[in-house]
Structures are given as structure tokens and as C-alpha cells.
A = this chain, B = another copy of it.
Amino acid sequence: MSTTKLDLTGGPVHPAVSALRPLGPHEITVNGGFWGDRQELNARVVLSHCEQWMERIGWTSNFDRAADGTVSGAHAGIEFVDSEVYKLLEAMAWELGRQHDESLDGRYRSLVARVVAAQEPDGYVHTSFGRPGQRARYSDLEWGHELYCFGHLLQAAVARLRSGHDDGLVGAGRRLADHLWQEFGPDGRNAVCGHPEIEVALAEFGRATGEPRYLELARLFVERRGTGTLKPIEWGQEYFQDEVPVRQAHVLRGHAVRALYLASGALDVATDQGDEELARAVELQWENTVARRTYITGGMGSHHQDEAFGSDYELPPDRAYSETCAGIASVMLSWRLLLRTGDPKYADLMERTLLNNILASPRQDGRGFFYTNTLHQRVEGNEPNSDEINARALATLRAPWFEVSCCPTNVARTLASVHLYFATATDDALQIHQYGDADIRTQLQSAGHLSVTMRTSYPDEGRIDVVVADAPVVSAGISLRVPAWAKEGATLHVNGEEHDPHQEVRRIFQPGDTLTLSLPMRPRVIRPHPHIDAVRGTVAVERGPLVLCLESVDLPSGTVNDVSFDPEAPISEAFDSTRIVVEPAHAGHPAWPYSEVTDARRKEHWTVNLVPYYSWGNRGPSTMRVWIPVKTPSS
């Protein structure tokens, strides 16, 4: 048992060295506003929604049955449902770190006790493997997801540690990680898990506990990946990134969540071990993936079949898989890269992905979720029964729960910890990366205590006020990210005086000092790269950090499949309402849809509302599109 001093700061990630230091739960509080509302919904609804579903369908009681020896033949759900319980525990831990709640605290402790009771004496804990009548431990590394589940247990333990508690699940995590060191360490088997996750989890658990063996084991898993230890499968070894070593790959490929979790873990290993080659490989993979394999929403993964990245520029809007969990994994990777390098492009992508991919998943009421996030809904989805488990691939509106239900709990843990992505510190400066109503207070290592309050109606409006509450007596810096889309037109005022928005504000701050960043909110007409075949001849509209969309409930025709847009026509704009002019196409349904002549079209004009993409599908069944066909000269 380790007795090293615990690192109680840093949120989900705290590298040994980094350009920027992450802030911990005690350093940032969100107070209402856009993100505060969502964190409250998460606390009030989403957590208990997940808890109740897993209780009802037996995923939590798998642990009880494992503890009392009755789980064989009576296991509920597929073989990686343990991970959903762990992600819920992680979400609860972050939520308890955000604000204490007696009831939640009790539920958390009780659930942890049930998990810990199922742990075997040697540290192994999994409800699907290893007992008489079950498959043997580690007998199906390709598909068994054992280490994937362990990773989520360890991440839940990290959340508990970083919230200031070294109790129940943390101890279980230590026993489990020690067991893994025995089984898969330098003297153990040369193997990896088919679903990366243990790498990133072990690295952080190592950081949070101060136990170097855990980081070393993460390194071993990263290095073994790509050496062909997994058996071939139909979709090729790239499905689980086992076709080429991480440090030799140039782009993310295969199953998107797997690829992004692996890259996150590889970067953690590279950062803490000073492995510049490996870190540069991950940076390059991010660059090429963002340039060629990412949806405008930040969504990643084009294939339904294997949940995979497709080829470069293969980004079909209507068959976008763009899994919620892949968006979350992308944010995890970008956050690590931001901490490492300080480059705001990573925070830009995080913002895009949080607002336009991840936030699209939960329904307004917090009781339904998109698993995949299409950019074009061709036919109206069905409103799923709130009592039924859903198959992920069906064209429904947001569903309450899934057979593979990774997304709801992943959304829960992300919402409960999203404020930890808002800001970082250096020795004598504070960097604000994401905007929302929040109090930030931190000890700058060389300057002293700095505390600020941020107030904004962002992302609906472009003004962000940061008011200094407490300041060091010496010179300190505060910088506010200017998103790439706001490069032209952003202004920054400090106590009413203009300041270069792209420069840090550095001075001896006084309480009451106010930094006001104004970002240009005019709607922008966005064209896709010509290599993105699937959206040729269309445009999207963005406003501020939000990708907008056209939803059929706002159209007289009731369908988005039959309109075109004149990008020369003026876009009218007001708070929360961007309106464009579209024309119905009225192309009819000929007997054969390919011909030498172009259809004549009827002239008609509708002025229609665009809505934020993340909000679509909250007004009943609808069709929707992000990319709107551009009127051609002949039409």
C-alpha cells in the first residue's frame, strides 16, 4: 500500500509537467448561467436517471450477485456494464466535489460499498469473468472489455481523490492496479485490452496516488499496442489500433472512442516520461484528424458499422456516427494537449465539441440521450418509450437507455466536471479557456492568491466580463482565449480601456478591475473543404461558437429535404434567433432519379429560423440538417 502524499488538485488530469497547470474542484465553481443550468440538471436529474436505470435492469446488482456468489448465469447486461456503474460513480464523485449533498453522498458511499464487496482478494473485480460458469479471466482480450472496465473504476477513483477523499473506491483502485501490475507488468503477459482506456486511467491514477508503477504499466500498454497481440477481426486490426505502434501512426483511425482514449493515455505517458517522439506523434495524429476526419460539430467517427473514423474527408452528414462518447474522448485528448502546450487551438476544439457534439446528446429534460449525433436527419425519428432499453443504431429521438449505454454515464461525468476545463494557471497568470458564469480562485505559485468572477450570457451573446475579486500584490497575468472564428473583430477592454485581445493582460491587479471580452456574433456562412464530397454544394451557418441547423418544425413544408439557400441573401439576426431565406426545391419524385435535364423549380421564399444544433429534436419528431444546399444558378 502506497503511503505517498496525495495530489488533491488538478481535476481529471494533472500531468507531472505541463505548460499550464489544471485547476481543481476547490478552485473553480460554476454559478448558474449556461453551464450552471446544465450542471444542475445533471445533479438533479441525470445522475439519478442513470442510477435508477441501472438498479432497475440489474447492472448495479451484478456486484451484489458477484459478492454473494450468485452472478454466474444471472449476470444482467453485456460484459462491460460494470463500466457504466464506474462512470456513474465518477460523475457522483465530481458532483460531490462541486457541492456537498447529503443524499448523494449516501448513495455514492452505498454504491461504492457494493462494488468493493465484489472485489476478489487478489484485487480483480469484474462481474462477467472468472467465476465457475463464467469465462476465464483475460480469456477474451479482443472483446471482453475487462481492462476497459478497470480503467473506468480507476478514473472514478481519481475523481474521488481529486475531490479530496482517499476512501472506498480509491483503495479498491489500488488493489486492482496492483493486481494489474502482477498480471500485465514487466513480468506478466504481453497483452493489451481490445478497448483502450486502461492506459489513460492507469497514468492518471498513478499521478493521483503518486505510485510510479501505475504510470509504468500504462507505458507498457501503450508500447504494446500496435504490435499485433490481439487476434485479427473482420474490421482489421486498426479497429483497436493494433496495426501500427502509437508512435508510428500519423492519424487517428479505427474505432473512434478507442483511438481517442488510447491517444490520451499515450500523451499522458509521453508527457510524464519526457518522450518527445511519442508526444509529437499524438500531436500529429490530432492535427491530421482535425483537418480531415472531424465534423463541423467536432463530432468524430463516420461509420455506423465499426463506429470508426472513415478515410480522410469521408464525413457523410446523414450517416454521421459521431458518437457522444467519441466527442467526450476528443475533449479528453484536447485538454491534455492544451495543458501540455498551451496552444489555444486545443481549447477551440474543446469548445466546439462540448457545445455542438456532446451537448446535443442529453435531452432538455435530462432523461433521454443521443448515442450518435447525425448532422442530417432525413426521416422523423420515433419518440422512444421512456420505459424501454434502446438499440443504439435505430433512428429514434433521444432514448432513455441503451443496451450498450456508454453515452448517458459519459455525459454525466463530463457535465459534473466540465467547469474544470474552464481555466488553468501558470506561475503568475491565469488563463481562461471556456466561458460561463463562474468563480475562480487560485494560488499562483510565484504571484500569490488571485480570484476572479466571470459573468456572461455566452454562448448566446458575445460579451464576457471578468471581475477581479482578490489579487496578488505583485504583477500577474490574466488571458482570455479568443476563438479562431473571432480572430477578426474580437475586442478586449480593461476597465473600459482597449487592450489587444490576443495578448495577456499583465499588471498589478486591484479588486474590481474588469476585463471585458467582446466576441463578434454575426452569423457566419461556412463552406466545406472541396474534398468533403458528402456536403459539396452546401453551406452551414455558425453564430459565435454554435453550429446552427435547420429543423423541419420551423419550415412551412415540414421537411428539410427540399430546400435550398441563397448565400447572397441577408441573414437576419437577433438574440437566440438567426433567420435565413430558403427556397423549396419542389423537384418531385421522377421514376428514375438520374437524368440529363435539370428539374425546373418553383420560385417561393421562406424566411426561417435556424436553431443551435445541440438543441434540435427537443420539439417532437423532426427532420434536421446542418449543411444546407446552396441554390444553383439554374434553380
Contacts and interface: CB of A to CB of B under 8 A. Distances in A.
A12 interface: no
B594 A311 contact: no
Interface string A586-627: 010111111111110000000000000000000000000001
A444 B203 CA distance: 83
A283 to B, nearest CB: 12
A376 B533 contact: yes
Contact of A531 (B291, B562, B591, B595): B562
B235 A391 contact: yes
Nearest to A597: B527
Q: Main secondary structure on chain A at its contact with chain B? A: loop
Nearest to A404: B234
Interface string A314-327: 10111100000000
A532 to B, nearest CB: 6
Given A537-B536, A629-B533, A527 B598 contact: yes
Contacts of A533: 317-318, 376, 534-535, 538, 627, 629
Most buried by B among A376, A394, A527: A527
A422 interface: no
Contacts of A633: 633
Most buried by B among A305, A529, A595: A529
B311 A527 contact: no
B596 A525 contact: yes
A181 to B, nearest CB: 36
A291 B589 contact: yes
Contact of A596 (B392, B524, B538, B595): B524
Interface in A136-150: none
A304 interface: yes
B311 A528 contact: no
A378 B313 CA distance: 9
A379 interface: yes
Contacts of A236: 391, 394
Contacts of A530: 564, 585, 587, 599, 629, 635
Contacts of A303: 304-305, 319
User: In the assembly, how many copies of this chain are there?
Assistant: 2
A311 to B, nearest CB: 4
B591 A290 contact: yes
Interface in A209-241: 234-236
Most buried by B among A235, A290, A592: A592
Most buried by B among A530, A537, A564: A530
A561 B531 contact: yes
A62 to B, nearest CB: 22
A526 interface: yes
A340 interface: no
A393 interface: yes
A313 B378 CA distance: 9
B316 A393 contact: no
Nearest to A317: B533
Contact of A589 (B292, B591, B597): B292
Contacts of A296: 594
Contacts of A597: 527
A343 to B, nearest CB: 11
Contact of A592 (B234, B291, B540): B291
Most buried by B among A311, A532, A561, A594: A594
A316 B319 contact: yes
B593 A532 contact: yes
A439 interface: no
A534 B531 contact: no
Contacts of A629: 530, 533, 536
A484 interface: yes
Contacts of A393: 234-235, 305-306
A355 to B, nearest CB: 15
B484 A592 contact: yes
A182 to B, nearest CB: 36
Contacts of A314: 318-319, 378
Contacts of A319: 303, 310, 314, 316, 319
7 contacts: A316-B318, A526-B595, A527-B598, A530-B585, A532-B593, A533-B627, A537-B537
Given A303-B305, A304-B305, A527-B594, 6 more contacts: A235-B391, A316-B319, A376-B533, A530-B599, A531-B593, A536-B538
Interface of A: 234-236, 287, 290-292, 294, 296, 303-306, 310-314, 316-319, 345, 376, 378-379, 391-394, 403, 484, 524-538, 540, 561-562, 564, 585, 587, 589-599, 627, 629, 633, 635
Shortest 3 CB-CB contacts between residues of A and residues of B: A537-B537, A529-B593, A234-B391
